[in-house]
Amino acid sequence: MKIKKAVFPVAGLGTRFLPATKAMAKEMLPVVDKPLIQYAVEEAFDAGIEQIIFVTGRGKKALEDHFDRCFEVELTLQNKGKKELLKQIQELVPKTGTIVYTRQNEPLGLGHAIWCARDIVGDEPFAVLLADDLIQTDKPVLTEMVKKFDRFRASIAAVMEVDNDQTDKYGILDAVKLENNIFQINDMVEKPVPAEAPSNLAIIGRYILTPSIFQHLGKKEKGAGGEIQLTDAMKALLKEQPIFGYKFEGTRFDCGDKAGFQMANLAFALERPDMREKLIHFIREIQQNF
For ligand UTP, the closer of residues 77 and 126 by Cβ is 126
Q: Are 28 and 35 in contact (CB under 8 A)?
A: yes
Burial class (CB in 10 A: 0-12, 13-18, 19+), 200: middle
Nearer to ligand UTP, 10 or 172 (CB): 10
Strand, coil or helix: 170: coil
Nearest approach, Cβ of residue 56 and ligand UTP (Å): 8
Q: CA–CA separation, 19 vs 21, rounded Å?
A: 5
The closest of 155, 289, 169 to 211, measured between CA atoms, is 155
> What's the DSSP call for residue 165?
G
In angstroms, rounded to a whole number, what is the distance separating the alpha carbons of residues 82 and 263? 30
Measured from the CB of residue 111, what is the shortest distance to ligand UTP in angstroms?
8
Q: Enumerate binding residues for ligand UTP (CB under 6 A).
A: 9-17, 26, 55, 104, 107-110, 112-113, 130-132, 256
Nearer of residues 55 and 172 to ligand UTP, judged by Cβ: 55
Residue 50 phi, psi dihedral angles, 5° rounding: -110, -25
Structure letter (DSSP) for residue 57: B
Q: Is the CB of residue 52 less than 8 Å from the CB of residue 121?
A: no
Minimum distance of ligand UTP from residue 119's CB (angstroms): 17
Amino acid at the residue 52:
I
Contact between residue 127 and residue 145 where contact means Cβ atoms under 8 Å apart: yes
Question: Judged by CB, which is closer to ligand UTP: 148, or 206?
Answer: 206
Least distance between ligand UTP and beta carbon 19 (Å): 12
Shortest gap between Cβ of 103 and ligand UTP (angstroms)? Answer: 10
For ligand UTP, give the closer residue by CB, 51 or 181.
Answer: 51
Classify each residue of 142-171 as buried b or exposed e, where b means 16 or more C-beta atoms within 10 Å of its C-beta: bebbbebbeebebbbbbbbebeeeebeebb
What are residue 97's DSSP bridge partners?
Answer: none
Looking at beta carbons, which residue is closest to ligand UTP?
12
Q: Which is nearer to ligand UTP, 108 or 267 (CB)?
A: 108
Q: Which is nearer to ligand UTP, 182 or 254 (CB)?
A: 254
CB of 179 to ligand UTP, least distance (A): 29
Least distance to ligand UTP, CB of residue 158, Å: 14
